[in-house]
Amino acid sequence: MEFDGQAGEQTPAEPSGIVKDEAFYQREAQTAFEEADFEKALRSYAKVLEFNPQSAGAWTAQVRMLIELDQYDEANVWADQALERFPREADLLAAKAVVLARRGEMQNALAHSDAAVGENGTSPYVWLARGDILLMARETLADYCIDKALMHAPGDWGAAWQAGRIRSRHGQFAQALRPLQKAVEWNPSHWVPWLELGRCQDSLGLAGAAEKSFTQARMLNPHCRAAADALARLASRSTGDRLKEWWRRLT
C-alpha cells in the first residue's frame, strides 16, 4: 500500500458519535496490540498511515506486528521503505535489527541494533530488541539488555509483558517468570499478562499456578478461547494422571 498521497479525509461520524479518524485507529491499534491481536493491530496501523503517512510510530509498529506474525520477508520490505523516510528512527532501526536476526543476518542485525542504541539509548524497545537479538546469538549480555529495557520503563506492564514473551520465545521460561509477574502486578485487571504468565508456568510444570493464572485471565475476559483451552488441557492432564495412579494401584 502506498502512503505518498494526501492523508485520508476524516470519516463522517457514525450515529454513535464516534469519528473514525487517525486518533481512533491509533487507539484501536494499541488496544489490539495489547490484546495480542497482531493481525488487527496491523490493519489498524495501516489505517493510521492512510491518514498520516509521516507517522514514524505507525511505520515502526507495522514492522513490529509483521515480526509478531512471523512474516519476516514482508517486515523487511516495510522496514526498508520506512527507513528511507526515517533513517534515524531508533525503534525502527531496532525493529529492522530483529527482522535481520530472524532472517539469519546476525552481523547486519547487530549493526542496526548498535545504530538504534546510538540514536536513543533510553528507548525500552531498543533494548528489548537488542536482548532478543543477543538471545538468538546466545550472548550473555542479553540479560543486561532486557533488564535495562525494564529500567527505562518502570511500572510499564506492556514492556514487562514483552520482556517475558521474548524470554519465553527463546525457551527461557524460568527467566520469563519475573517480568511476567511484574506485568500482572502492574496491571492486574488485564487478561493478557495473566494468560502469558499461565503459559510460562505451564511450561515449567507449575500446574497449580498455571491454573490460577488461566482462571484469572478467563475471569477478566470470558471470551478468551486460549485460556479456556489451556484450562481444559490442564483438567484433562490431571484426570489422566489420576487414572494412571488408579491403574498403578490396581496392578
User: Do the domain assignments include residue 151?
Assistant: no
Please report which confidence band the pLDDT of residue 241 belongs to, taking 50, 70 and 90 as the band edges.
low
Q: How many domains does the chain have?
A: 1
> pTM here?
0.87
Please report which confidence band the pLDDT of residue 17 belongs to, taking 50, 70 and 90 as the band edges.
confident
**Residue 245's domain is classified under what CATH number?**
1.25.40.10
pLDDT per position as a tens digit, 114-129: 999 999 999 999 999 9
pLDDT per position as a tens digit, 45-68: 999 999 999 999 999 999 999 999
Return the C-alpha cell found at 75.
517486515
User: Do the domain assignments include residue 83?
Assistant: no
User: Do the domain assignments include residue 239?
Assistant: yes
